[in-house]
Amino acid sequence: MIPRYSLPEIADLFTDEARFQAWLDVEVLAVEAWARIGVIPDADARTIRERASFDVAAVHERERVTDHDVAAFVDVVQESVGPPAGTWVHYGLTSSDVVDTALSLQLVRAADQILAVLASLESAIAARAREFRDTPMVGRTHGIHAEPTTFGNKLALWAMQVHRDRERLAKAREGIAVGKLSGAVGTYSNIDPRVEQYVCEQLGLQPVPATQVIARDRHAELMYACASIGATVESFAVEVRHLQRTEVREAEEPFRAGQKGSSAMPHKRNPIKSEQLSGLARVLRGNLQAALEDVALWHERDISHSSVERIILPDSLMLAYYVAVRFRTVIEGLRVYPDRMLENLDSSYGLVFSQPVLLGLVEAGMTRDDAYRVVQRNAMRAWDERRQFRELLREDPDVTNVLSDARLDACFDLKRALANVGHTFDALDALEST
């Protein structure tokens, strides 16, 4: 991942140093396991624990000779220990025993970082939802005014969606928190199953049956969780972008002192953060496609997945983390304009109350189709003539002969329209209490 989107707290998990350290942890634990069952002398296992080390540059230099990264790594580690103890390093293992188990360890640590930031994002959104719980705004479907809602209701639904992403990622984390040290085709032909059990226990992983590699549907599930986070954040970002449009201007991203929106037009305050997040979500979805392609390997394994995973796994985890952190700053600093929301709500001539009028006519005895035609006829006139919907209804005998002024006015009661918004917040409260 390019530095622009790499936050150090998660990027550091995927450096060469971190990857080789995870490999070393697996190698040393395997030696200790062999010693525990009496295959390797205890003194040699202790020596390996004390001396085993690597130098990243030395591994890369050795790989130019071996053309095999694990073999190069093992050579360097064995040299750091020295004979005779060093000869036990990598005993009974195949490369994927080390690489896949260590990779799981890295992925679990990264998933934990993302889970933590998702929790904080959910809390930030929920806090702002409660702040604007009763702030009325127009709801839009197909981009057109529909019925009143509140900005808090919108945000509460966002918080619940983030919660679902947390659950998805937690499940994917469980699926990837596995290890295997079962040899070339997974049959334990040259390694005792107790070695696998010990190593995985020490690393907090679950040993699983495997071929030479851990099945890649597990990794694909993790990539889906990351892509889902991206899609969730993108759906929020698209809404912010719409609300920030000049014609709408109901909310906008934070804009720092000294920030410039355009190099040419000083008046510009563009939703650049949200646009960035929309773009990065596309990368996450593209990486998911590649991860799904990696599931189908030849026989007990090939390495067609390896080159792909070196890119998509760290990149997707770093991007999922980045978009969550980035949107948290957006939501925490979001500027909200309740007066503009109310102004926009009123700008469609009261048409957002067409359904209560329809239902009022039905309750008064009119057939639904007849009532629909009466309401629609007046609604179209309101659009075309730019007149208040309520005034047109009061001039229509098909309405006034059925509904009293008081009953008609009740159809346009904003408080009535929003009376049950609290139901959404009851669901949010229940979710956060679990």
Residues 228 and 198 grouped into a single domain = yes
In order along its 434 residues, the chain shows pLDDT tens digits of 899 999 999 999 999 999 999 999 999 999 999 999 999 999 999 999 999 999 999 999 999 999 999 999 999 999 999 999 999 999 999 999 999 999 999 999 999 999 999 999 999 999 999 999 999 999 999 999 999 999 999 999 999 999 999 999 999 999 999 999 999 999 999 999 999 999 999 999 999 999 999 999 999 999 999 999 999 999 999 999 999 999 999 999 998 888 888 788 888 899 999 999 999 999 999 999 999 999 999 999 999 999 999 999 999 999 999 999 999 999 999 999 999 999 999 999 999 999 999 999 999 999 999 999 999 999 999 999 999 999 999 999 999 999 999 999 999 999 999 999 999 999 999 998 87
What per-residue confidence (pLDDT) applies to 386?
A: 96
Give the number of other CB atoms < 10 A from CB of residue 8. 9
In 326-424 the beta strands, taken as DSSP E runs, fall at: 335-336
Distance of alpha carbon 105 from alpha carbon 119, whole angstroms: 21
Q: Do residues 250 and 337 make contact, with C-beta atoms less than 8 angstroms apart?
A: yes
- 253 and 287 belong to one structural domain: yes
Q: What is the pLDDT of residue 256?
A: 85
pTM for the full predicted model: 0.94
Residue 108 CB neighbour total at 10 angstroms: 19
Mind telling me the catalytic residues? 142, 262
Is residue 288 located within the same domain as residue 369? no
Please indicate, yes or no, whether residues 138 and 48 belong to a single structural domain of this protein. no
332 and 399 assigned to the same domain: no
* Domain end position, chosen among 305, 322, 342: 342
For residues 67 and 147, membership in a common domain is answered with: no
> What is residue 324's predicted lDDT score, i.e. its pLDDT?
98
Q: Which residues, 6+ apart, have CB-to-CB distance to 346 below 8 Å?
A: none
DSSP-assigned beta bridge partners for residue 145: 140
Q: Residue 285 in contact with residue 231, Cβ under 8 Å? A: yes
DSSP-assigned beta bridge partners for residue 150: 136
Its sign, for the CA torsion 78, 82, 87, 90, is negative
Q: Angle at the Cα of 60 (from 55 to 63), degrees rounded to 5?
A: 125
C-alpha–C-alpha distance, residues 158 and 122, integer Å:
8
| Domain CATH code at residue 378 | 1.10.40.30
Q: Is the Cβ–Cβ distance between 394 and 408 less than 8 Å?
A: yes
Domains identified in the chain, total number: 3
**Cβ within 8 Å of residue 187, ≥6 positions away:** none
Domain boundary among 91, 123, 158: 91
State the pLDDT at residue 1: 81
Give the pLDDT score at 304. Answer: 93
What domain range includes position 104? 95-342
- Assess whether 6 and 103 both reside in one domain: no
Distance between CA atoms of 394 and 400, rounded to whole angstroms?
6
Closest CA to 225 of 274, 176, 297, 160: 176
Structure tokens at 278: 């929309």
The token duo for 312 is 């998509």
Q: Which of these three, 42, 63, 91, is where a domain ends?
A: 91
Q: What is the pLDDT of residue 266?
A: 86
- Specify the CATH number for the domain of residue 163: 1.20.200.10
Which residues are bridge partners to 335 per DSSP?
Answer: 252
Residues 252 and 208 in one domain: yes
Q: Residue 26 maps to which CATH number?
A: 1.10.275.10
**Residue 144, phi then psi, degrees to nearest 5:** -110, 145
Q: Are residues 145 and 284 in the same domain?
A: yes
Residues 72 and 123 in one domain: no
* Pair (215, 108) in one structural domain: yes
Tokens of 331: 């939501």
Q: Examine the domain organization and report whether 58 and 104 are in the same domain.
A: no
Tell me what pLDDT residue 118 has.
Answer: 98
